[in-house]
Amino acid sequence: MFAGHMPAPGQVELVDIPEPELPPRDPDGPGQILFQPTLSCLCGSDLPFFQGSDEYPILEGHSLHEMIGTVVATNGERYQVGEEVLAVPLEQRGLYERYVVDETRAIPVDTRVAKEHALLAQPLGTVIYALKKLPNVLDLDFAVVGQGPLASSTTWRSPIWVLGR
């Protein structure tokens, strides 16, 4: 099985690693799934690892954390084998062909929505979480600095004036 490995800034290699095994169910914890990603997107938080802001080599499987895929095996009761879910790996370490993750870190994919759109549910959740930390900004003037695609998804219906570049 392949995993991504960053030996140096700007380099990603595929390395062969052992196939992950689903452990026996912990009766005191959540079930787990063996997850196989089929669709993913890069997040701005992945880029610093690629560009050299960390010590190298970086842990294998780093850095990818927004993905949709298939449940390959499970020791829990929440999901069935073959079900499509959006799963979030621990510590952004999802650059694997398959990995084990708690079923609490996955949600079913809504089949009414295109997978490419459903994939944005996880990063949009991050934006919503950040917005909840703000005080009430209704009827206040403020500036959005460094607005990328996720911030755009929260302000696209609001009047925004560009003051300068």
Q: pLDDT tens across 46-97, in order?
A: 777 778 776 777 888 888 888 999 999 999 999 999 999 999 999 889 999 9
**Closest C-alpha to 102, from 74, 129, 126:** 74
Is the domain covering 2-136 a CATH 3.40.800.10 domain? no
Evaluate if residue 165 carries a pLDDT over 60.
no
Q: Which helix (H) or strand (E) holds 9?
A: none
More confident residue, 149 or 50: 50
**Which pLDDT does position 85 carry in this prediction?**
96
Kindly list the domain boundaries of the chain, sorted by start residue: 2-136
C-alpha Rg value of the chain to the nearest Å: 19
pTM: 0.77
